[in-house]
Each structure stands twice: as C-alpha cells, then as structure tokens.
C-alpha cells in the first residue's frame, strides 16, 4: 500500500510539471512592438556625467575654524540657505579662528597702549616733559650762579675753588638735561616703531580675518551650504558653492581608449535621469587635455543644443533651463551620453532594446515570433543598424525579449 502511495504521488508531481511546461509553451508573452525603419544610423562613445552650471565657484576654508555665522540674505532677510539667490559680494558666512582672534586682540591692545603714550598730552609724555623742565630749570639756575661767581672771581671777591664748584655744577646739570632729552627722544622713537609694528600686525591679522569672511564671487544661486553654525571646517573644506543656473552643461568622463574618437563639436545624444524617454541633443564644446590619473578618463564638456530659459517672476537668476520633451536638467543630475563618432544616412535601423545578447532579434510573425540573426553596423544606446537580416517595415519585439524563444506565442502590449 505504501508503495502504491509513493508511485501515485510521483505521478502527480510529474503531471504538474508537464502541465506547467505546456502552459508556459502556450501562454503568450506580452511584448511591446516596434517597426524596422530607414533612417540615420549612429555609432557613439558611451560616457556618464553630471549636469553642472557653466559658471560656478566653490568656496573653501582658507584656515581651520568654526562656522561662526551664516549671514542673512539681503533679499529674504533670513539666514542664507541652499537655493537662495546671491549676488557678487554678498557675505555668506564667517569662520572663527580662536588663535587668530587672540593674536589680533593682543596686537590691538599693544597698538592702543603705544598710541595713548604717543598722544600729545599723555601722562607718559607729561612725566618725561616734567623731568626735562625741572632739569632745565636746574641747569639755568646753575649757569646763572656760575656767571655771578665768575664776575666775583674777576674782582677777587671769591676763591677759585668756589667758582670751580659752581662751574662743575653747571656742567653736570647741562649733561643731565641732555641725557633726559635724548632719553625722551629715544622713547618717542621706540614708541613710534612699536606703533608701526602693532599696526602692521593688526592689518595683517585683519586681512587674514577677511579670508574667513566668505562672499559670493558671482551672481547666481547658492547650490550647497553643507555646514551649520558651530560646525568645524578644516583647511580646504568646501563650505559653499555658487552657480549660475541659467546656463547648464554636462561634464562627463570619457575613457582614454575612446577619447581619440571624440572631437569638439561632436553631436551627443543625452539621457537624463528621470527623463529616460526624452530625446535630448547636445554638442561637445570642450575636451580637457589632462586625464585623471586614477580613472584614466578625460573630462568632456557638453552643451544642450536646444536649451531654452524659462523665466521665474521676481528674479532672473531663478530662471530655469528646459530642453526637449519638457525635460528640466538640474545641477548635479546624472546623465548618460552617446557621443556620435560615426553616422550613416539611409540605414536600416531598429530600437536597441530589441537586440539580444546573441545579436538576434525576434520578428513578429502573426501571433508568434521568429528569432533572426542580425549583422550589426553602427550602434548606440538607443538604435542599432542592421547590415543584413532585417528589412524596412518588419515588426520586432522590444520588451521581455529574455522570455522569448523561436516560435514563442506573443501578445501585443496594450
């Protein structure tokens, strides 16, 4: 009995498998259909890139410091944020370097001190001038006494020793006066030199502080503002990026093996992220001469051929670019490029999605498909040229081709 149960179970499993295979063979595959056409065939070099503003500037920290302040927009009166309009010269943010601030504070204190001492009626100068005045009075008194005693000496009224003492006293007071005058002059000279040094230090540190005040270098839109107040920025850290979004381009990287086939003015087929079905035309306008040492790729710049500017009421800088099929490229958007390196008119062409990994296509024949080998000519990421195997007007399956086989049933997708 147990043996009969096992046999029956096995038979049922086998029958289910057979039914599944039969069902798969006779269940139609839903496909999208396209027509073989006569038109322009193109061979392209594939590249990926990103949409960028043609004119943009990146602001970086010149020294390590903390974000001390993000300024308010003159237009919104609110703290700047990404997407705000900026004009050249607008203060965006300020870094704070504590060590620099301490040095400037010390230099400013020294400048204040020596400036106060150099002032005409400063206590410092008054004290010196008082000493000089007293020394001058003493010298004048000593000279007057020496002159009186000299007259008495000539008449024999005093001794030579008495006169000599008066003369010595006059000479000593003269010397003391000259020393005080020299000390005063030297002190003023030293103070002036100290003031010059302090002023120079303040000016130098103020100039360095200006490096910590980051302003918009061009008119445009604030694209990035990655740090908040209180966050620390190391030397070279990007703290803001400004771009003019009225003129957008694509910067792409082309492999060194293909760059020799790419020329300035080469036409480009563009596919933007989010706009897969849009047919967007571009043109190479610049090829940078130096390759990236890591990726071995060359930067190629591409412009949008049919770009048009859509104005936004209120500020021209907020205007945005539109291209074919209503596509709107945005700064940083990913793109795929087919840079045209060869073209041929009057070619037999078909959509690239119809091609299998074996270089075959499935031709619609009633409710079934025939697998046909194709000799390929020029190929890009949207279309292929058939040198043989296809003719104009034939219908091809362009979706679910991995599920098809020769003779498979199909159903057109509605």
* pLDDT score of 18: 46
Region 399-410: mean pLDDT is 94
* pLDDT score of 4: 61
Region 35-53: mean pLDDT is 95
pLDDT at 128 over 90: no
Query: Domain 57-95+212-240 falls in which CATH fold?
Result: OB fold (Dihydrolipoamide Acetyltransferase, E2P) (2.40.50)
Q: Does CATH number 3.40.50.2300 belong to domain 45-54+243-343?
A: no
Residue 103: which of 157, 63, 148, 53 has the closest Cα? 63
Cα–Cα distance between 203 and 225 in angstroms, integer? 30
Is the pTM of the predicted complex or chain greater than 0.85? no
* pLDDT score of 19: 44
Cα–Cα distance between 75 and 72 in angstroms, integer? 8
Region 133-154: mean pLDDT is 87
pLDDT at 67 over 90: yes
Q: Give the list of residues 6+ apart from residue 82 with CB closer than 8 angstroms, or none.
A: 222, 223, 224, 225
Residue 349: which of 411, 294, 396, 402 has the closest Cα? 396
pLDDT at 184 over 90: no
* pLDDT score of 22: 46
Percent of the chain clearing pLDDT 70 (strictly above) = 94
Give residue-wise pLDDT tens across range 368-389. 999 999 999 999 888 999 999 9
* pLDDT score of 21: 45
Cα–Cα distance between 183 and 284 in angstroms, integer? 76
Which of 147-156, 184-193, 285-294 has the highest mean predicted lDDT (pLDDT)?
Answer: 285-294
Region 153-159: mean pLDDT is 82
DSSP 328-346: ---TT-EEEEEEEEEEEEE
pLDDT at 25 over 60: no
Show the 3-state SS of 141-191: HHHHHHHHHHHHHHHCCCCHHHHHHHHHHHHHHHHHHHHHHHHHHHHHHHH
Q: How confident is the model at residue 342 (pLDDT cuts 50, 70, 90)?
A: very high
Cα–Cα distance between 379 and 269 in angstroms, integer? 12
Cα–Cα distance between 213 and 270 in angstroms, integer? 40
Give residue-wise pLDDT tens across range 254-300. 999 999 999 999 999 999 999 988 889 999 999 999 999 999 999 99
Query: Domain 27-42+345-412 falls in which CATH fold?
Result: 2.40.420
Cα–Cα distance between 263 and 283 in angstroms, integer? 10
Cα–Cα distance between 242 and 215 in angstroms, integer? 10
* pLDDT score of 279: 84
* pLDDT score of 221: 95
The pLDDT mean for the chain works out to 89
């Amino acid at each position: 009995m147990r043996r009969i149960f096992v046999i029956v179970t096995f038979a049922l499993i086998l029958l289910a498998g057979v039914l599944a295979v039969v069902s798969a063979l006779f269940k139609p595959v839903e496909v999208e259909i396209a027509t073989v056409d006569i038109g322009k065939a193109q061979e392209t070099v594939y590249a990926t890139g990103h949409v960028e503003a043609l004119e943009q500037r990146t602001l970086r920290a010149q020294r390590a410091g903390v974000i001390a302040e993000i300024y308010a927009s003159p237009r919104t009166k609110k703290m700047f944020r990404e997407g705000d309009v900026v004009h050249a010269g607008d203060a965006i943010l300020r870094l704070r370097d504590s060590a620099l601030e301490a040095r400037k504070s010390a230099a400013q204190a020294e400048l204040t001190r020596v400036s106060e001492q150099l002032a005409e009626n400063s206590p410092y100068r008054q004290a010196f001038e008082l000493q000089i005045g007293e020394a001058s009075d003493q010298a004048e008194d000593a000279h007057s006494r020496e002159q009186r005693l000299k007259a008495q000496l000539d008449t024999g009224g005093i001794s030579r020793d008495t006169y000599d003492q008066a003369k010595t006293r006059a000479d000593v007071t003269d010397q003391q006066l000259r020393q005080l005058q020299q000390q005063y002059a030297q002190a003023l000279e030293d103070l002036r030199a100290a003031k010059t040094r302090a002023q120079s230090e303040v000016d130098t540190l103020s100039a360095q502080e200006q490096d910590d005040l980051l302003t918009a270098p061009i008119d445009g839109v604030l694209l990035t503002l990655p740090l908040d107040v209180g966050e620390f920025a190391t030397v070279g850290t990007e703290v803001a990026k400004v771009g003019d979004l009225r003129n957008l381009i694509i910067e792409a990287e082309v492999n060194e093996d293909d760059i020799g086939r790419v020329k300035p003015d080469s036409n480009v087929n563009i596919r933007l992220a989010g706009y897969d079905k849009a047919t967007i035309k571009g043109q190479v306008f610049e090829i940078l001469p130096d390759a990236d040492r890591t990726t071995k790729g060359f930067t190629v710049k591409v412009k949008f051929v049919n770009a048009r500017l859509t104005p936004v009421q209120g500020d021209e800088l907020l205007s945005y670019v539109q291209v074919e099929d209503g596509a709107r490229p945005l700064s940083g958007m990913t793109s795929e490029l087919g840079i045209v390196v060869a073209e041929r008119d009057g070619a037999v062409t078909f959509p690239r999605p119809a091609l299998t990994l074996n270089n075959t296509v499935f031709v619609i024949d009633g409710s079934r498909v025939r697998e046909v080998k194709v000799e390929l000519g020029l190929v890009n990421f949207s279309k292929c040229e058939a040198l043989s195997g296809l003719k104009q007007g034939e219908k091809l399956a362009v979706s679910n081709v991995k599920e098809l086989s020769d003779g498979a049933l199909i159903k057109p997708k509605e």
